[in-house]
Amino acid sequence: MDASAIAARLASGVITPLVKKLFVSEGPGAGLVDHPVRVSSLVSFTGEKRQLTDADLHKLTRGLLRSAMGSPDNGERPVPPGEEEAVALALARTLTHLGDLEMDDVQAVRMGPQALAQALKAAGPDCTRDLSADGAYLHDALLTSACLHILHFFTQRSTFVARTLVEHSGQLAQVIAKTDLLLARNPSPVTKDTLFEERYAAHIIQKHGMLTIYGIDLSRSPEQWPLGTAYLSLEADLDRDTRHAMIRAEHAFNGRDRVLLRGVAGSGKTTLVQWLAVTTAQQDLTVLDSGAPLASLIGRVPFVLPMRTLTRQHDDLPTPDEFLHRTRCPLAGAQPAGWVDRVLASGRGLLLLDGIDEVPKRTRERTRRWLQDLLATYRKNVWLVTSRPSAVRDRWLATEKFTELSLAPMSREDVTSFIHRWHNAARSVSEQEERNQLDTYEASLVTAIRTKQDLARLATNPLMCGLICALHCDRRGYLPSGRKELYDAALSMLLARRDRERDMEAPDGIELTEEPKVRLLQRLAYKFILNGKSELDRSHAERVIADTLPSVPVAAAQGDATAIFQHLLLRSGLLREPAIGTIDFIHRTFQDYLGAKAAVEEGDMALLVLRAVESQWEDVIRMAVAHARPKEGAEFLMDLIRRGDGSTSGYRRSQLHLLATAAVEHATELEPRVRAAISERAGALIPPRSPREAHDLAAIGPVVLELLPGPERLSDEEALLTAHTAVLIGGDAAIPLLRRYQDHPDPQVRQLLCNAWHRFDTVSYAEGVLADLPEEDVHFEIATPEELSTFGKLGGRSRIRVSKGFDTIRLVQGLRPDRVTHLWLPAEQSATWYWLAAFSRLDTLTLDPSTEPVDVSSLAAHPFLRVLRIPSNQPVVGREALIDKVMVTPYQPDPGIDPAV
């Protein structure tokens, strides 16, 4: 394909946002001058107003090139793939000469785009020296296109230019408009795809760019919040044999392109899917190309595929051309013929299959075969599959080379961050008096979470944290202590107090108190569960209400099933209509809680035991124990135990015994014999013998800590898995157990203890676990300012690993440099390394991976540094200065380790 044709592909919607980043962003009115402005004073990568580094500029030109190239069509690329990076780098170097031009914006506009491009080339004649003829031609075409938009930017910025150069301004705007119109009329499939992808990206951002934060019901409170404000980065546990690495969940595709992500209800799986889809659709290179973790999302097209929607009314699963139709995308009819196939065939897709656990069990294996067919046909795309933990067995997609991750319970730091974000969101729509109250509530809730174990046990995922924040405000600082009480209070807030406190006076003529609403909704929830669905047709839901109304006379007296259902849909806060004619609960957890209540009241305990092996019923069974009367609950738990004892499958036996153990915490009263029987079965599963068993045990909660053994008589692998289980459970109650592992001879066990610091109270963990932990063969990890401050009080250590974001001066002050012999730092910690002279005993320096070259020449001045460890593929500048002074040792970084953790 001709290079000029490729450059012409750049519609204004693609290139304008990139061009704007080349220039300083100033406050309102800053550009309204009555005189010309020097071009060199406007650029954002030189001088005192510098906002872009050379590396940032390179990222922008790389993105510009990717946008222009589009799909890698066979034989249509103007330069070999290996030279594309060189073209991007040459274009970045040419654009830096905007800061060298001896002209103002008026003169530049008068020159026109071609002349400006020639001036930039003349200022940097060596920029294209190493390119082939085709590469130089592509560089020039892209440069001219960029100059057109640069000049148009000038005309929009300055009133002087706009007033004195109306003709030039109009001509530039006309050229850009004609380019966009030509692109729109061009019958080329590639051009049609590009234009449609712009519309589709805008749709994804609009559809998934908002997040519901449950329970913020203050005055003028919206129901949804911008995803960028509300999103909380959570951790996932990468299971690789017995080695465990915590990574940030959104970095799941760092070094891998097929991921199966497990997480309990409310843990943030769907929110992560939304964030990945929106981030990919936005294609903000300052985010995506900031480092390796997100680089694989550049240039991709996201497809959000909620499995509940794909399987709701169809026995068959969709082919790629049906993705948009089956997910009810309003642009489905406008997509160019064969567009999805072209995207996937070129390896540009990001496929997000959300909720495998919501596929009926009878069709789950067929779903797996459907996914295998897609994987075999479209190999080069990026795939994420989410599921509740036990819905699919271990290594369910191992033959397809999927990496399994598990969303970890929220750390103490995550919970504190969530509380802060929640109250910030609430403050943004509150009156001054409410804001003052929210300040008080936030501070008291953070203190309560840190000091009350029963409350900390509940605050383990975003959903529960949101309910806790809402109830804490709603009840003016009072909180229930158990999970059942928490849900009861949340339902009361949503069903009864919400309308009353908003002065809603029966706008539909129907007034129902909390009790009849609960009875109707629990029956509806139970019908969802019995049908194995997370969505129902509206007509089906109305029939359920019609069948239930005779037993709820106060509701029957106010309207028929259609009217009552409409009232519940609009006023309960628990139901929604994601598409016309389709109904679901706002969150699966509410559905399971209400369904469990219905099952217990209808005496269906035997049915619950029968369904206990089905993953979709797990939370229903746990909540049923909470709703049951003491004797009823005890017999139910014993039935689960007996069914597990009689199972011929070891997996089923463990599953049922673990489920009974997990349900114990919900029982308000339990006979000692029942508790003893359950503890005996759970003890047979301890110590854990695989990462999956460790996660299953941790999901049960703090009650497992009482059963976990110390390291005595455990193998190294068992000790590592047992300690990992305790880390996942977290809380102050885990610290005494972990202290018993601090002298373990296996360095992997002790390294796990070092890595886990940020998941606990900083001071308590440092004093209880780290203070006496041997340091000779592990790196003490520092991830937060609080940890750095506490670290100095420990007296420092010899081996230290530091995450990103620390000021160099603070590191020197806080790390006790006179003790440090081995230091592990982000490669981008600083431009030069002379400051390391403060570490007078430093022997070995390790650098984390970076996408940009690292200049190591200044390390030659360090008097004692003997070894420099760098990633094997890390670009390095100044290596020759280290010859005969420092031994440079390449190492293969573990793609699962997130340097920020």
Q: DSSP per residue over 457-509, as a string? A: HH-SSHHHHHHHHHHHHHTTT---SSHHHHHHHHHHIIIIIHHHHTT---TTS
- The yes-or-no verdict on residue 208 having pLDDT over 60 is yes
For the residues 28-43, what does the mean pLDDT come to?
Answer: 59
Q: What share of the chain is helix, strand, coil (3-state, %, to 5)?
A: 55, 10, 35
For the residues 145-171, what does the mean pLDDT come to?
Answer: 64
Q: What is the pLDDT of residue 75?
A: 47
Least confident of 31-35, 361-365, 431-435, 870-874: 31-35
| Pairwise pLDDT comparison (120 vs 884), residue with the higher score | 120
Q: Which helix (H) or strand (E) holds 607?
A: helix 605-610
Residue 27: pLDDT band (50, 70, 90) is very low
| Pairwise pLDDT comparison (160 vs 114), residue with the higher score | 114
Sheet bearing 844-847, strands edge to edge: 780-782, 799-802, 822-825, 844-847, 867-871, 887-891
Q: What is the pLDDT of residue 729?
A: 86
Sequence-separated (6 or more) residues with CB below 8 Å from residue 341: 320, 321
Least confident of 33-42, 66-75, 594-603, 891-900: 891-900
Q: What is the pLDDT of residue 150?
A: 82
> Closest Cα to residue 845, out of 813, 874, 879, 821?
821
CB 835 within 8 A of CB 861: no
The reported pTM is 0.59
CA 599 to chain centre: 35
| Pairwise pLDDT comparison (169 vs 414), residue with the higher score | 414
Please tell me whether the peptide bond between 687 and the residue prior to it is cis, using omega within 30 degrees of 0.
yes
For the residues 301-314, what does the mean pLDDT come to?
Answer: 83
Q: What is the pLDDT of residue 223?
A: 57
CB 344 within 8 A of CB 320: yes
- The yes-or-no verdict on residue 219 having pLDDT over 90 is no
Indicate the angle between helix axes 166-185 and 189-208, nearest 10 degrees: 100
Q: What is the pLDDT of residue 31?
A: 42
Residue 595: pLDDT band (50, 70, 90) is very high
Sequence-separated (6 or more) residues with CB below 8 Å from residue 632: 600, 605
Residue 897: pLDDT band (50, 70, 90) is very low
For the residues 835-842, what does the mean pLDDT come to?
Answer: 90
Q: What is the pLDDT of residue 212?
A: 65
Residue 490: pLDDT band (50, 70, 90) is confident
Provide DSSP, 246-266: EEEGGGTTSS-SEEEEE--TT
Q: What is the distance between the alpha carbons of residues 180 and 879, in angstroms, rounded to a whole number?
A: 47
| Pairwise pLDDT comparison (288 vs 707), residue with the higher score | 707
Q: What confidence tens digit (pLDDT) does each residue in 36-86 have?
A: 677 767 776 665 555 667 777 787 787 777 766 654 444 456 777 678 888
145-154, 428-437, 502-511 — which one is most confidently predicted on average? 145-154
Q: What is the pLDDT of residue 200?
A: 92
For the residues 749-762, what does the mean pLDDT come to?
Answer: 88
What rounded mean pLDDT belongs to the chain? 80
Q: What is the pLDDT of residue 691?
A: 84
Q: What is the pLDDT of residue 74?
A: 42
Residue 353: pLDDT band (50, 70, 90) is very high
- The yes-or-no verdict on residue 451 having pLDDT over 60 is yes
Question: What is the three-class DSSP state of 403?
Answer: strand
For the residues 438-460, what does the mean pLDDT come to?
Answer: 80
Least confident of 162-176, 659-673, 743-757: 162-176
CB 138 within 8 A of CB 75: no
Q: What confidence tens digit (pLDDT) does each residue in 611-659 have?
A: 888 877 888 998 899 899 989 999 999 999 999 888 887 778 888 888 8
